[in-house]
Each structure stands twice: as structure tokens, then as C-alpha cells.
Chains A and B, each alone.
Chain A
């Protein structure tokens, strides 16, 4: 239990009062008092997001503007490329890209979204890492960029097959946006930054809104009968079914993007032989993993029974004996699959789809199979 002092020191988002009014079950998460679930419960919230639309408060995440001192966004992009293995120069105005801050060992300091708004870059980083990320940016990019932490903004995600029709009523441009489009748009008359992306595997949007307008916008969205408020519990089960990494669990400072099966996120221009190969922290190790392969790999895992295999469960090659060969990094019950789903790291030799493995759960070895991710087909509007 948290002491009163701990409770009092928790930060709140601009939607905190709304969560409490909606009956959200509040828990501490990354220093914030956040709803783990609303009255519908994790299962219904999850399924509602997949069938209609869910509204998520992700205002605890960090929003940072990188403003080039030269006035040219390419200069901010080139500067940011010193910290991430992605091609940021190629992110066209109005587009967004998934990226990772890497460290000198090739590990991942955080994962983030980078959008170009034409005259500056807009970054969304994880709540638990945002102070370190900001310090990292200041320490490395201050010569080229003004690092502007946008603390007076909330972030609302609207996810699911009805997200487009719901948002279209408030933002005329929403239906014209494609997956990973991002830019300033008016939503319900409010100046927002809207991206067509999310963390559920569903089509949907993330809306950055001034803090003072956040509750009004959230209430307007929730007035639509297709929209249900969703807590962090369903956010986690949705992203896990979507095969998406959770920082600090599936990726961390000891995993490279190649080990994490995130090769798709590193463009050819930054790999060996590319126009701007290397030049990011840990490039030597990460490019060696690209060129020679890594010893281990993040994989999806499915079980036969209904017992969830949770984070931390050790993985074995055989039903008895032997040393552990890997570990589960995220595991839960997938409500849309009505079955357990997990991801974890295994030796690359054991990472092929269909490989049979065992997870130790309460002293017993449960059979698992290496399975393709996402576990639930994503529905992005490409």
C-alpha cells in the first residue's frame, strides 16, 4: 500500500477529475495517479476498443517540440539522427515515424514517436523516461535546437474501428489522414496536434490538446455512444495482442533494436552502406547485429491452455531439465483471442515460427509455440 505521502506526491493529468467522476479505479503509474480500469472492466474495455472505439488518457507521456535554431527542420532532423538509428531527415512534413533513443552499448533508452510539422519536430516519449529523455536531448542537441517541453498539453488517444467516424464529426481532416500522418488540426474548434497512430493495433488517432481544453474535448468524444473510456489495463492487453513493445519490459537498455525484432524501424539509409550509415549511439554494435545477426530475438508466444504466462517466466527447450534459454517479458490473457499471449526473448536458433518451447509457471512447464506477431491483425489505414 502507498502511504498518504506517496499518494499526495503523485502527479495528475488534466483529465484526472474526469477519470474519478467516471468511476475509474485509480492506481499509481509512472508517478501519475491513473485509471487502471473504468467501471466496464478490462475485458469489456478491450473488446469495445476492438469493435467500436476507446478513449485513452495518455497525458502522462512526454510531449517535446524540437525547434531548429536555423529555422530549417532538416537541421533538427539531422541533429536528432545523432541520437536515434532512424532516418528522420526523410520524415516529410505531416508524417510521423517510430524511433528509439539508443545508448553507447546499442541498448534502448526509450522508444518514441517523431513527427515533422514542417518547421519543427514533435516528439512523444514514455512517461517513465521523459525527464531523462529531455535531459538527453538538452545535453546533445542544444547547439542546434530549442528543446521545448510541452508540459501544458494533454494527450488523448481515440482507438478502434469507429475512431474515424467519431473524430470526423469534430475534425473535417481526420478521414483524409492515413496511418502515421500527423499535423496541427482543429478538433471541436480547439487547436490540436493530431496523428493517425496509436498503441492498440487498431486504426485510431492521438490528439495533443492544450491542458485547459482537454476535459471538454474528452467529454465531447465520450458523448458519442460509440466511445468508451479505457484504462491502462486494457491499454496493456491491446498493445500486447498488437505485438507492440512496452518500454522497460520488452525493450530496455540491454536490448538492441535488432534483438527486439524492430529492424523494420531502422531505415536502410542508417544501416551499413546507407547514405547516413551509423552516427548514432551504439551504432557499431547495432550495425553488427544487422550484418551478422544477434544471438537472441524477441518473439511472440502462444500457449495451448488458458493459463496466462506472465512477465518473468523462464523459458526452456524441454519439458524437464536443462537450463533456461530465455524469459517472458510481457504476458497476459488476450481478450480478443480468448487465449493467453506473451512475448519474450529466446536464442535466435529457437526463434523460428512454430518452435516448441516450455515456460515455467508455478513449478510446472507449460508448452508454448513461437507465434507470429501481431497476434491480432492490425487495421491501420495505410
Chain B
């Protein structure tokens, strides 16, 4: 091959390499940017007076005097809306019967749209569920609800051989000629006065428990559950994994049994996590009865089994990477085998072992399948350390799935879901980052 072709080949390889890195970075951006952007929106957002009312009533937070004056000022503007409603209700009574039924149905829609926007109307019975006690707490949602109030969505099905098309009818026009027609421009003009949107930093999203299954409040029980599960898994898996790795590298005699054990370990590392979940349910809960129901301990044990192979492999590699000279020097000084392992080999292998451990910790924090049947619940309060043996816990990974698919109001709670995703990504990222830092620190210490 002459130098010219070699150069071209070399350059094109560089180009492909750079190209693939760019593609990877773009893919990462596409995934991470919406997560970060929307996730931050769970903590920083434009909150309305309803948000502050909710905080005050549910968490006793905020200055009650300020809030009272704010509520008074918003109530002044709302009072006019409610007056218009009473006025229209009186007008409704005087209408001709068929006109009355027509408007009653339309009026019910207006009422429910107003309820969604501003909370219960005067005269409504006190709602049992907290979700119906407040209007929109977030301004961008309030704007959506305003649209629902101003326009009625209809479907044009004049041509029954094709699918209908959506179109919007202004309610102001459909109520033309009645006293309610004034309501729509009034609400549109004065929505800010009725809701007082303000930039809000809701740190409670991280530290509060959820109110009424994630409609309001924060995700602390989920974060805590994730920590309990991941650390619990580590407490079981790390010591076991290191001991197993020491056995494999130092004590095991090469032979049939040993190679069987090793390949079993490798196979275990490739088993899908849902299989571990089913195993955990069948073995830890139904057979061993480690707890009466799902519990943190059962989940942690299941996760421990799942990450054990990875920890063993990482520790093995780290121990094998310790230079032979270390061991020989130690043994030549008259040290016993066990002493050599404990004082020379393990400390030297520690950075590698720890990296493997912390990366597995991140994996344990992010796994959903193993905890579905063993530890995770969709509603539950934050638990104390004493309860890990008996209580299940909410956990980020499972609750993200639950909010995305099973929750009855999944579409309304996207911000909570994104907030949870960001929290989980951050936790895993921090764990991995700490692995890198730890490794760097320890290897520096070993060198001097």
C-alpha cells in the first residue's frame, strides 16, 4: 500500500470515528435535554395562588398574612365571575323549556371548566379528594384550561366515510345573547388577577411527600425508597462479591468445578432483570418469608443477587491486575497468604473493586423489574429505617413507570414524571461520578 492510500484510509477512519462520536453526542442531547428541561420545570415554574394555598393548607408553609391578602385580592376578581354565574342561573330559570335544556348542558361544561381552572365554585360541596380542592397550581396548565373554557372542542363528522376533524367553537359565541357571554372575555382579561402567577422555586418537590397520589407535593418517599433499596442491595452484594472474587482468584484450584462456577457467574450477569424479580418473589417472599408482604429487605436482596455477578467480575479483574511483584514481596517477608491478601492485594485492588461496586449501585438504583413484585408500591409514605424489614416502599424507577402508564391522570402529571426522571438520572450520575472521584483519590494515595 502506498503512502497516499494509507493517508486517505487513515483520514477516513478518523472522520468515521469523529462522526460516530458526534452521532452519539447528538443522541445523548436528544435524550437528556428534554429530561433536564422538563425535569427542572417540576421545581422551577410559574406558580399560581392556588399553589400557595395548597402549600399552606397541606404543608403549613408560607406566610399566612401575605397569602390572606393575596387570596382576598384574587377573590375580588373571582367574585365577579361567580356573580355572573348566579346571574345566568337566574336567567336560565326564565328561559323557554327547550332552550333551557340546551343551555343547561352547555352551562354544565362551563362550570366544570371553571372548576378545573379556579377550584370549587361557591356552593359546591367540599370535595373529598385534594385534587379537586384547588384550581390550577401551574400557570402553563392554567392557560390550557383557559382555552378549554373559552373554546369548545367539536368534531366535524359531516362526512361519515372518513375520520372526523377537530375544530373549536368559541363559547362566547354560543352563549351570545345571554348574560353569560360577558364571562369569557372577562376571565380571559383577568386570569392573571384571579391566579397571580409568580415565579416559584418549589424545593419541596424533592423533600415533600406526595399529596393525593402525586397531584401535588413532592417525591421524597420515592427518592428515599431508591436509596434504601440501592444501599441495602450494596450491603449484601459488596462483601459477598469481594469474598467470592478473592476465592476465585486466590484459593480456587483450576478445574471443572471452578470453570463451571465461573461460567455460571457470567451467565447470571446476563440474565434479564425481570427473571430476578420473579425469583425474588418466589424465593424471598413466598418461600423464605423474609417478610410478610413486599418489603425493602426483599427488594434489596433481589437487587443484590442481580448485581452480585457484576461485582464479582469487577473485583476479580481488579485483583488480577495487582502486579505479581507486590504479592511476591509480601510473601518473601514471611507474611501468610491471608495476611498478604488482606494487607497488600485488597488495598491495591480497592480502586477497581470500588468502581465496580459504585457502578452496580447505580444500576440497582435504576432497575424497575426486580422490585415490581418484591418491594415497590405506587402509594406509600416515607418509611423509617426500622420498617425496612416489614414495609414496601415507593421507588423512583417503579413510580416513573406507574405515573407514565397506570396513573388515572397520567397526561396531567407529566411534570411530576419528568421531575422523577431527572431525580433518578441525577442520582445515578452522582453515584457514577463519585466512583470516578473515589478511584482517582485512592490510586493517588497508593502511588505516594
Report if A and B associate in a common complex. Answer: no
Seen from chain B, the residues whose Cβ lies within 8 Å of a Cβ on chain A are none
Seen from chain A, the residues whose Cβ lies within 8 Å of a Cβ on chain B are none
